[in-house]
A and B are shown apart, each in its own frame.
Chain A
Amino acid sequence: MNPAAAPRTFEVRPSPDAADPVHDGSLLEVSLGPQHPSTHGVFRMDVVLDGETVVKLKPVFGYLHRNHEKIAENTSYLGSMPYTDRLDYFCSLTSNWAYALTVERLAGLQVPERAEYLRVITAELTRLQNHAAVCGFLLQDMGALGTPLMYAFRERERILDLFESLTGARMMCNYMRFGGCRCDTPPGWLEQARSVVTGFGAFLDEFEALLSSNEILLGRTQGIGILPRELAINAGISGPMARASGVAYDIRKVDRYGIYDQFEFRVPLGDHGDVFDRYMIRALEMRESLRILGAALQRIPAGPVIDPKAKLRGFRPKPGESYGRIESPKGELGFYLISDGGPNPWRYRIRPPSFINLTILEDLCLGRSVADAVVILGSVDIVLGEVDR
């Protein structure tokens, strides 16, 4: 028998959760995701609901974490290039470009003019297919099941065919190299690209006739998920989301990386910052991309596509650091690299646009219904490969 044993008294205390409205039954906590089709991937939203209204929303990421940054610190500079395809798997060519741009700054490589043109052409084609797919998915989230998404995918498929004949893969292109591009265009590719670009204009007209004046669409998107201009700036929102809130910030204009200073295009801006503005900004940006593409496909010069000084193997940039950023279809995509002179980067850091755009999701959704939260998430345009890395 334990000598320290003594009779115990118990008092009935109120549960510590009693003050919590979730636990007293007046509010309902719902875990939306991570396998819910409206979350665009393995993304979870912890939503607290008062009836149908969202009173609290916590985004939960990390289900697709692949340790990309640490892997890149343990592999060669070239070896990280195919991994950047898998960041934003809708826009592998812009991810390639951002990484190549950063390493070129680090190593002081020059890009030949034809390669710069090829980069602009592939990046703008990427923007077209990304925005087309995003508009289709957004409408799908609103209940326009199938039709707009299939029309968008029909056009996207033509662009992916172009990517396949140029780079060898539809989505995981792995096309850019430090100091240029991996290979030149196959014969007839530029003509094929011109005809795709011409056809895309007709598709945009059709797509806008299909839905942009649809009363249900207007009712579901106008005044929903308003992102104020100040919040957009304070939270570091970039890309079409920031521009829909009236922030005139396009890195193609601000940084003029590559040869974007040689092209004439406008940056569409929204007044309201609601879901409809974000949808329309993407539609208008596609038209501006078509202008850039028309000019680039006409003016592309002949010449080499890679800097002859660029080395594929045994690439060791001198010690230093660099930050490179581009306007990816989702916003500002930045890479930060520190080199200690070795064959792999000492530090490798990515600034992913859709991760940072996702941080203000709660501010957009508070006070709206669950159905609106799904539409708002669709208008943010996330790709979980990039959010979780």
Chain B
Amino acid sequence: MLGGGILHGLAVTAKNFVGSFTDPERLVTLGYPEERAPAKENARQFPFLVFDGADPQAGLRCVACQICEKECPPQCILIVKSKTKKPDHLGKPQFFPATFDIDLSVCMSCQICVEVCPFDAIKMDQEFELATNDRFEGLLRHRDQLARPNAHFQKLHPTDAAAIDARRAEELAKAAAAATAAAAAPRKPAPESPPAA
């Protein structure tokens, strides 16, 4: 019958139309911004810098090794290494970034900085409402704007954060054990200077 196919199709449309009122499974849209989809643990938007403890300056994990700056495909990171050093979580003196800028208008959210960072210092944030009136300074994030506490990272990526925290605690325990062992062991006698002839 000519037109049978059209009627058949219209029946499908009608079924969907009525179904979306009766079956909550068929209601696939969300009323943003009042309603929001639950965040996914792996989701990524833009990078942030992790710091331990309460002070974003003292606890910053970044040691300004500049690996992420070199590996970043669109080159959106600018790091200036400090002249002085500060102790890291193991008490070892390390450099820190005097400047750490990320240009969000250039960043393409590829996560390569996170993958190459050997210090777990840079991670991906899930904040996506970044609209600003100032497209130059407003989208250029500086070190202190990028710094977020470790608790923020634990909230966004619990699985990753748990693994990293466990590893860092282990490193710390090992370093503490080595320090106590070194303190307990008798100090190695200094090499004797050759007797004066």
Chain A positions near chain B (C-beta within 8 angstroms) = 75-76, 78-83, 85, 147, 151, 154, 157, 161, 164-169, 172, 174, 182-183, 186, 206, 209-218, 312-313
In contact, B12 and A209 (Cβ under 8 angstroms): yes
In contact, B5 and A214 (Cβ under 8 angstroms): yes
Contact A78/B112 with A209-B8, A215-B2 known, Cβ cut-off 8 Å: yes
Contact A313/B67 with A165-B40, A186-B41, A210-B12 known, Cβ cut-off 8 Å: yes
In contact, A164 and B42 (Cβ under 8 angstroms): yes
In contact, A216 and B6 (Cβ under 8 angstroms): yes
Residues of A within 8 A of B71 (CB): 76, 78-79, 313
In contact, A79 and B73 (Cβ under 8 angstroms): yes
Residues of B within 8 A of A78 (CB): 71, 112
In contact, A186 and B42 (Cβ under 8 angstroms): yes
In the bound complex, how far is the Cα of B100 from the Cα of A136, in angstroms?
45
In the bound complex, how far is the Cα of B72 from the Cα of A313, in angstroms?
12
In contact, B13 and A210 (Cβ under 8 angstroms): yes
Complex interface bits, B122-141 against A, C-beta within 8 A gives 1, otherwise 0: 00100000000000000000
Q: Tell which of A79, A85, A166, A213 touches B8, judged by Cβ atoms closer than 8 Å.
A: A213
In the bound complex, how far is the Cα of B11 from the Cα of A182, in angstroms?
45
Contact A169/B4 with A75-B73, A157-B28, A209-B12 known, Cβ cut-off 8 Å: no
Residue of chain B at shortest CB distance from A183: B42
In contact, A82 and B73 (Cβ under 8 angstroms): yes
Residue of chain A at shortest CB distance from B42: A168
Residues of A within 8 A of B110 (CB): 81-82, 85, 172, 174
In the bound complex, how far is the Cα of B8 from the Cα of A217, in angstroms?
13
28 A-B residue pairings within 8 Å (CB atoms): A79-B112, A81-B112, A82-B73, A164-B40, A164-B42, A165-B42, A165-B43, A166-B42, A168-B40, A168-B43, A172-B109, A172-B110, A174-B112, A182-B115, A183-B42, A186-B42, A186-B159, A206-B12, A213-B5, A214-B8, A214-B9, A217-B5, A218-B5, A312-B115, A312-B116, A313-B67, A313-B71, A313-B116
Residue of chain A at shortest CB distance from B15: A206
Residues of B within 8 A of A214 (CB): 5-6, 8-9
Residue of chain A at shortest CB distance from B116: A313
Chain B positions near chain A (C-beta within 8 angstroms) = 2-6, 8-9, 11-13, 16, 28, 40-44, 67, 71-73, 108-112, 115-116, 124, 159
Residues of A within 8 A of B3 (CB): 215
Contact A169/B44 with A82-B108, A214-B5, A313-B116 known, Cβ cut-off 8 Å: yes
In contact, A168 and B116 (Cβ under 8 angstroms): no
In contact, B109 and A169 (Cβ under 8 angstroms): yes
In contact, A213 and B4 (Cβ under 8 angstroms): yes
In the bound complex, how far is the Cα of B6 from the Cα of A147, in angstroms?
14
Least distance between A207 CB and chain B CB atoms (Å): 9
Q: Other CB < 8 Å A-B pairs besides A186-B159, A312-B115, 18 of them? A: A75-B73, A76-B71, A78-B112, A81-B110, A82-B73, A82-B112, A154-B28, A165-B40, A165-B43, A172-B110, A210-B12, A212-B5, A213-B5, A213-B8, A214-B6, A215-B3, A216-B6, A218-B5
Residues of B within 8 A of A85 (CB): 110
| Across the A-B interface, the 4 shortest Cβ-Cβ residue pairs | A213-B5, A82-B110, A79-B73, A168-B44
Main secondary structure of the interface of A (DSSP, over half): helix
In the bound complex, how far is the Cα of B43 from the Cα of A210, in angstroms?
35
In contact, B4 and A151 (Cβ under 8 angstroms): no
Most chain A CB atoms below 10 A, which of B8, B11, B67: B8
Residue of chain B at shortest CB distance from A185: B42
Residues of A within 8 A of B116 (CB): 312-313
Q: Tell which of A79, A164, A182, A215 touches B43, judged by Cβ atoms closer than 8 Å.
A: A164
Residues of A within 8 A of B42 (CB): 164-168, 183, 186
Residues of B within 8 A of A157 (CB): 28
Least distance between A106 CB and chain B CB atoms (Å): 19
Residues of B within 8 A of A147 (CB): 13
Least distance between B81 CB and chain A CB atoms (Å): 19
In the bound complex, how far is the Cα of B38 from the Cα of A165, in angstroms?
11
Residue of chain B at shortest CB distance from A212: B5
In the bound complex, how far is the Cα of B10 from the Cα of A211, in angstroms?
9
In contact, A174 and B111 (Cβ under 8 angstroms): yes
Least distance between A119 CB and chain B CB atoms (Å): 17
Residues of A within 8 A of B124 (CB): 168
In the bound complex, how far is the Cα of B124 from the Cα of A168, in angstroms?
10
Residue of chain A at shortest CB distance from B17: A147
In the bound complex, how far is the Cα of B4 from the Cα of A164, in angstroms?
41
Least distance between A140 CB and chain B CB atoms (Å): 15
In contact, B44 and A80 (Cβ under 8 angstroms): no
Least distance between B9 CB and chain A CB atoms (Å): 5
In contact, B9 and A172 (Cβ under 8 angstroms): no
In the bound complex, how far is the Cα of B124 from the Cα of A167, in angstroms?
13
In the bound complex, how far is the Cα of B13 from the Cα of A214, in angstroms?
13
